[in-house]
Structure 1
Amino acid sequence: MDCADPAASSQPRPSTVTAGRPRHFPSGWAWLSAGMWRNWRGIAGALVATCLGLPVAIVVAAGAALLLGAFGLFGGVFDGPERVPGPLRDLPLLGSALETFLPLSSGLVGGLVGALAGLVLGFLGTVLLFGGFWFADDPVAGLGSFLGIVAVDLLIAAVYTGYRVAFEPWLLRATGARRLSRRERELILPIVRDCAGRMGLENHPPILVDDDRAPNAIAYPRHLVISRGLLAEFGYHPEVIAGVVSHLLVHWRNGDPISAAFVRGAALPLYLVHGWAGWAGRRVNHPLVSLVTWVVFWPVLLTVNQVIMPLQAVDVRRAEYRADQGAVLAGHRDGLRRVLGRLRHSFETGRNGWAAAVGATHPPNELRLERLEEPGRRYPLPDPRAAAEPEHRDDQVAAPPVEAGR
């Protein structure tokens, strides 16, 4: 992939599979290893879900819950009233009340208890059955076989991560990323070099631009990609660019993109099914197709959305806080605050429900802004620097001078 102008460019060219990595790592393997093992919660969740067949356990648990729940419901309705002593049923007012109340309440309680028992017994039964299959005859050999499965899963994750890293230039080109133009290079590269120098980095990755109109910026293992929508939203303001770049450089330096790829690789079969189901729903965009997709793939969707992603998101949110401090270290907290203030709806859309709250990949935006506050300086609400309207339109490339670190 052309990551620089053929004529001249000071950007590093990713000529090898590890070019574009932070130079403070002694080798490419040390770089990959540091990134792959960073998110231990996400890795543990992916291994448990994949190696223990969590979707199968969920299906069995749901079936057992329905079966025992129905048994408890009907048993409570027809057998509950018979448990009431005869003298109580013969009372004028209380007897008729009990005859009405007990069938309904007994059925409800019996159904809930049966469903809960079925859910627990079905899930644990599947896990124990799986364990008995491996450990019944020879526990040592069974443990060895299970560890072999875990090792294969980790190997798949490592191969997938290596594939993402090695073919990253071509994958980014396929998704629309391009090299910087001359004007973009003259504006952005000095800012990137300055931020890297202030943060004590020996080098920086190639910078690419995505012509998407939506404001966005992403750190990859070997590249940083900034959308033209983000540049245009803030009128190509150098302080904003510096704040965003400082944030991305921390992700790149810490290997956060490698960590995300490794967790995805550890649960690759589940993520492939999850991705295909999501693609089918978006591609057809029909209620019937969405319903059929959910009915067929709901165990996998539930496992990925409610187990793997929330566990992975714990470290991802912490990584966002760490990356925000990169802007503070580089002296560009104001630039990042302006981005977070204006584009806050792009980072969070509400936290109602398990998936939205526990599975959120970004911390609450207001708390991120709070951590970026300069000591001794007031930050009132509403924030005048987070105006709703862009300062410049897309065709206005000229930018005001860089604001000195305040």
Structure 2
Amino acid sequence: MTLLTDRDVTLRNATAILPDRVVPGATIVVRDGLIEAVECTGAAPADAIDLGGSYCAPGLVDTHSDGLEKERSPRPGVELPLEFALRSFEGRARAAGVTTMFHGVGFANHDRYGRTIDLANEMCRVIDERARSGRAVIDHFVLHRLDARDRDGLAAVERIVADWNGSDLPLVSYEDHTPGQGQYSDRRWLERYVAGTKAMSADEAKRYVDDEAARRDEQLADRDVIVEWCGDRARDGSIRLMCHDPVTGDEVADAVARGVTIAEFPTTVEAAQAAHGLGLSSVCGGPNALRGTSHSGNVSARELIALGLCDVMASDYLPSTLLGAVGALVDDRVCDLATAIGLVTSGPAAAVGLDDRGRLEPGRRADLVVFDLDGRLPTVRAVVAQGGSCTHDPSTPAPLLERTPV
């Protein structure tokens, strides 16, 4: 069932997940699209919506999702219109409790992932138009993924940063997915990935990776130029910078010197410890935390969370894994519920500078998700999503209270 509400709504009998504790029987008051009060005692008004004891948390903030790519091309040879794919994926994200989404857009010409610079520019245009339309039901942003060996990608991101006129900083992540680097420090995992996604034999995949390794060495000078540009722009305050898949403490220290503030998907405990010690926010993958293991042989997100070395969980490619990971972490006693929810709400919001959301506190933006846990398995019961209305123009369309099973 979908209920249209105005910008004022009261929810009662909620199990509210606050930054440091879980409070049953709470009443949450929303006025003008903001949280006015979270009350743990006293009677609720007669017109309040009874949540029946379900959990209520801030709307999830996803700092890295490549899901739009998969929505656009759900199977080989099938490409859907980007405008349609974005609206379709928007619905999936909202149904998973995500109310703020950073879409990963890869600025590279690379046949492994089917990415091109032209496609990246078109994705940015479509995302920006949806975000500014006043009709989006979640908040849309772009994570500009810059291939550290692609000069064409650098030129495109340079133009975006030069023309930027938003109040927030553009979010940029530099990455190197070549054999022997980052996520694929052990190239055998890349060979396995290529064989699976391109229907190659083991020998064909090995030759493919050999060719990529040769190109990697030829592009070393390009990498130096691109990483230096990222550092210059981060230090002069033009961008918010992430480093992708750091492996060693030395890599993290170098990233910090360049102005990086977020370490995305550290692949080892060493890198995560270095990031924590140097004050970076560390991002782990929701699918990794849900499954308990990395798909490419790197450190388990659960290990980093148990060690207190993870600040953010991002969906990577599947939005529903965020609450799925929350349920798994709590059920397996890796951490408590308030901590797990913080990894997908207040942690990511703080990391990317969105201080108006991510906590059930008065004055914060009233993006909310209502859900139940059946053991470790979540079911989303309702979503209150302000879209762009709360921060851009109070006269834009009303939020939705959507009751949809995930």
- State TM-score, norm by structure 2: 0.21
- Which of structures 1 and 2 has the bigger CA Rg? 1
- State TM-score, norm by structure 1: 0.21
Name whichever structure is richer in helix by fraction: 1
Name whichever structure is richer in strand by fraction: 2
